[in-house]
């Protein structure tokens, strides 16, 4: 077993030499946010698995090696292209509000207490990760759960070297982790200090849980001893999730959204994802001849900023389509997009925007020799979710309730206020910024992209797609370029500090309120052609592409 772990780690370059996070492959490729997760997916591809198997393996491994961002205590979205059918499939395994949830559950003495939606057991929504992975494997995979979980189980049981990103998250959250016996026992040293990059981390209890799921993970997670233990743990800490919440959870297969752009067809996740916002922003940009403006030139960025603002204003109309009517046909119609473009290009402010939610998250991309492609985005929301781990199971539980509108006008952890469409209701899924995307030309996938980092997912994916389509850049260049972000509320332009000072000053002179930040999320990109896969993980988060 120890030899297998060494093989997984050696499949990726060391982090010290990871300036180049790109790769090429002829037969298959995985782009994930840790080298171990990418290696886990490629291991499954080499063993005869397809892209769905590899994506599920990489997701489980990411939940071990990026435990602050995602795991089986959370949920996500999966966009699948199958070459055998030539069709796209969208799987929603987003977390759900407990059946006892109410729109006023975070009000105390008539006032909203948003901290209750961020930390502690009331912040937990019903996890969907295992249900989603099980559904994808049963319908479109070729391997059983234990086969695809094997790399994650090895990493959790035998240990993995702590990456820079997770090390920073642990150090930043040390005091909060110390308050929870489960989290502190795994992620802090015996003296309570934070481990350093390269230190081995073990998640042996999680390894045991993954093994106990057997090859019927949905049944074994959502019914019986595991569900009972999770419900009891959550309730003992003041939460409202019950065994019935677990038993009644189901993932949902939805119809993907798509729209033409510059001779390509762009497919993405429908609500409660915000993928449609990416399509709206692309539609506003399409007639703009962006290639002639120059990569990250002030005129290009000014146009991008205005379009981002309009997109986020529309985002407040998105929500769980099983609970609210999302006017997606109208939002993606040429008439509406033309109106948005008119406002954006002439700086005409629309109605005030509601700030956007969510954060954390991890994204990965998998492609195989048969032409199948998967983009998967998974999350437990903010760093270490609810800051609670069930010590008997090793499962870190999400704080996805913060992705709902906690109360009218109250911003969440990411300064995004909730709109009516995203109010809390029993069994409802919160709105998400996750936007796994696949671009097609002449019927074949040619680009896959996705991101992590809350609302910056939408703007990061948008910029990466434009870099590849309009500026003809490769995955590495598109991922490495400094990015901007504008989400309408607050009406501030966030710019990465790598952006040239001359460009930043030019935007300031145009009147934009600019704030420079170290990083804006993380994006993974893959370009796809027969026998020629090229991909890049985002160095902002330690991502890596591995191909073969």
Mean pLDDT of 275-290: 94
DSSP 96: B
pLDDT value at position 215? 98
Q: Is the pLDDT of residue 347 over 50?
A: yes
Distance, in Å, from the CA atom of 190 to the CA atom of 198, rounded to the nearest integer, reads 17
Parent domain of 345: 254-358+434-542
DSSP E strand boundaries for 222-301: 252-254, 257-261, 264-268
pLDDT value at position 5? 30
Mean pLDDT of 446-462: 97
pLDDT digits (tens, 9 = 90+) for 76-99: 999 999 999 999 999 999 999 999
| HEC profile of 374-413 | EEEEEECCCCCCCCEEECCCCEEECCHHHHCECCCCCECC
43-68: b (≥16 Cβ within 10 Å) or e: bbbeeebbbbbbbbbbbbbbbbbbbb
Distance, in Å, from the CA atom of 217 to the CA atom of 548, rounded to the nearest integer, reads 30
| Spatial CA neighbour of 525 closest among 471, 486, 455 | 471
pLDDT value at position 445? 98
pLDDT digits (tens, 9 = 90+) for 171-213: 999 999 999 999 999 999 999 999 999 999 999 999 999 999 9
Distance, in Å, from the CA atom of 456 to the CA atom of 416, rounded to the nearest integer, reads 12
Neighbours of 432 (CB within 10 A): 31
pLDDT value at position 428? 98
**SS3 state of residue 333:** coil
DSSP 126: B
User: What is the CA 380 to chain-centroid distance, rounded?
Assistant: 9
536, containing H or E segment: strand 532-536
Of 62-71, 287-296, 413-422, the range with the lowest mean pLDDT is: 413-422
Task: Answer yes or no: is 471 within a domain.
Answer: yes
DSSP 71: -
Task: Answer yes or no: is 55 within a domain.
Answer: no
Please state the domain count of the chain: 1
pLDDT value at position 362? 96
pLDDT value at position 491? 86
- Global pTM reads 0.93
Distance, in Å, from the CA atom of 81 to the CA atom of 370, rounded to the nearest integer, reads 11
Length of the chain in terms of residues written: 548
Distance, in Å, from the CA atom of 188 to the CA atom of 311, rounded to the nearest integer, reads 41
pLDDT value at position 348? 56
pLDDT value at position 270? 98
Mean pLDDT of 124-132: 98
Q: Is the pLDDT of residue 162 over 60?
A: yes
Strands 362-367 and 373-379: antiparallel
- DSSP string over 146-172: HHHHHHHHHHHHH-EEPPHHHHHHHHH
Task: Answer yes or no: is 406 within a domain.
Answer: no
Largest CA distance in the chain: 63
DSSP 106: T
Task: Answer yes or no: is 64 within a domain.
Answer: no
pLDDT value at position 502? 97
Could you give the angle at the alpha carbon of 173 between the alpha carbons of 492 and 97, nearest 5°?
Answer: 75
3: exposed, middle or buried (C-beta count within 10 Å: 0-12, 13-18, 19+)? exposed
- DSSP string over 514-533: EEEES---EEEEEEEETTEE
530: exposed, middle or buried (C-beta count within 10 Å: 0-12, 13-18, 19+)? exposed
Task: Answer yes or no: is 163 within a domain.
Answer: no
> Which of 34, 205, 242, 361 is the catalytic position?
361
Task: Answer yes or no: is 288 within a domain.
Answer: yes
Mean pLDDT of 294-304: 96
| Spatial CA neighbour of 278 closest among 251, 312, 302, 329 | 312
pLDDT value at position 346? 77
Q: Is the pLDDT of residue 358 over 70?
A: no
The answer to whether residue 361 is catalytic is: yes
Q: Is the pLDDT of residue 415 over 80?
A: no
pLDDT value at position 264? 98
CATH of the domain at 484: 1.10.246.130
Read off the pLDDT band of 360 (50, 70, 90): low
pLDDT value at position 104? 92
Identify the bridge partners of residue 367 per DSSP, sorted by sequence position.
29, 373
Name residue, tokens 């500090």: 497
Could you give the angle at the alpha carbon of 83 between the alpha carbons of 146 and 26, nearest 5°?
Answer: 80
| Sign of CA pseudo-dihedral 143, 70, 429, 41 | negative
Residues 6+ apart with CB under 8 A from 492: 486, 513, 514, 515
On whether the CB atoms of residues 358 and 77 are closer than 8 A, the answer is no
Of 123-127, 130-134, 150-154, 490-494, the range with the lowest mean pLDDT is: 490-494
Q: Is the pLDDT of residue 2 over 70?
A: no
On whether the CB atoms of residues 44 and 143 are closer than 8 A, the answer is yes
Of 45-49, 414-418, 445-449, the range with the lowest mean pLDDT is: 414-418
Distance, in Å, from the CA atom of 356 to the CA atom of 403, rounded to the nearest integer, reads 9
Neighbours of 93 (CB within 10 A): 27
Mean pLDDT of 379-383: 96
**SS3 state of residue 540:** helix
Task: Answer yes or no: is 524 within a domain.
Answer: yes
pLDDT value at position 289? 86
Q: Is the pLDDT of residue 398 over 90?
A: yes
Task: Answer yes or no: is 295 within a domain.
Answer: yes
Q: Is the pLDDT of residue 353 over 80?
A: no
**SS3 state of residue 244:** helix
88, containing H or E segment: strand 87-93
442-457: b (≥16 Cβ within 10 Å) or e: eeebbbbbbbbbbbbb
Distance, in Å, from the CA atom of 415 to the CA atom of 407, rounded to the nearest integer, reads 13
335: exposed, middle or buried (C-beta count within 10 Å: 0-12, 13-18, 19+)? exposed
Mean pLDDT of 103-108: 93
């Amino acid at each position: 077993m120890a030899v297998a772990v060494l093989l997984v780690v050696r499949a990726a370059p060391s982090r010290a030499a990871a300036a180049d996070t790109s790769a090429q492959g002829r037969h298959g490729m995985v782009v994930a946010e840790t080298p171990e997760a990418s290696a886990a997916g490629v291991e499954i591809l080499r063993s005869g698995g397809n892209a769905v198997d590899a994506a599920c393996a990489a997701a489980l491994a990411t939940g071990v090696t990026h435990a602050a961002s995602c795991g089986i205590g959370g949920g996500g979205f999966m966009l699948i292209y199958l070459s055998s059918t030539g069709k796209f499939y969208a799987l929603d395994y987003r977390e759900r509000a407990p059946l006892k949830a109410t729109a006023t559950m975070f009000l105390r003495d008539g006032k909203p207490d948003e901290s209750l939606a961020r930390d502690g057991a009331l912040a937990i929504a019903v996890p969907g990760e295992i249900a989603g992975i099980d559904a994808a494997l049963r319908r479109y995979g070729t391997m059983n759960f234990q086969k695809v979980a094997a790399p994650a189980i090895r990493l959790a049981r035998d240990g993995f070297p702590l990456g820079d990103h997770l090390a920073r998250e642990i150090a930043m959250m040390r005091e909060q982790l110390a308050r929870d016996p489960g989290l502190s026992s795994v992620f802090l040293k015996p003296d309570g200090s934070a481990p350093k990059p390269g230190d081995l981390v073990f998640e042996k209890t999680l390894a045991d849980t993954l093994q106990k799921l057997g090859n019927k993970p949905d049944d074994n997670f959502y019914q019986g001893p595991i569900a009972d233990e999770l419900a009891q743990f959550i309730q003992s800490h003041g939460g409202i999730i019950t065994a019935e919440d677990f038993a009644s959870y189901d993932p949902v297969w939805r119809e993907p959204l798509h729209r033409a752009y510059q001779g390509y067809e762009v497919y993405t996740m429908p609500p409660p994802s915000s993928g449609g916002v990416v399509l709206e922003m692309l539609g506003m940009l399409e007639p703009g001849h962006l290639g002639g403006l120059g990569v990250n030139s002030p005129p290009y960025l000014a146009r991008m900023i205005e379009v981002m603002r309009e997109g986020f204003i529309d985002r407040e109309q998105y929500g769980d389509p099983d609970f609210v009517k999302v006017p997606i046909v109208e939002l993606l119609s040429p008439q509406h997009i033309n109106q948005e473009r008119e406002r954006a290009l002439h700086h005409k402010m629309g109605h005030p925007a509601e700030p956007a939610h969510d954060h954390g998250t991890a994204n990965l991309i998998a492609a195989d020799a048969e032409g199948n492609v998967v983009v998967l985005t998974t999350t437990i929301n903010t760093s270490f979710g609810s800051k609670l781990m069930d010590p008997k199971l090793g499962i870190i539980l999400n704080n996805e309730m913060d992705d709902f509108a906690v109360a009218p006008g109250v911003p969440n952890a990411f300064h995004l206020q909730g709109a009516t469409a995203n109010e809390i209701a029993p069994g409802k899924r919160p709105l998400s910024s996750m936007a796994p995307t696949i671009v097609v030309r002449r019927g074949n996938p040619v680009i896959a992209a996705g991101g992590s980092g809350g609302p910056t997912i939408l703007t990061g994916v948008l910029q990466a797609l434009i870099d590849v389509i309009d500026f003809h850049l490769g995955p590495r260049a598109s991922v490495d370029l400094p990015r901007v972000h504008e989400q309408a509320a607050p009406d501030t332009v966030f710019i990465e500090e790598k952006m040239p000072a001359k460009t930043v000053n030019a935007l300031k002179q145009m009147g934009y309120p600019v704030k420079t930040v170290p990083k804006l999320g993380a994006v993974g990109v893959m370009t796809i052609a027969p026998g020629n896969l090229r991909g890049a993980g985002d160095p902002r988060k330690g991502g890596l592409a591995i191909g073969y």
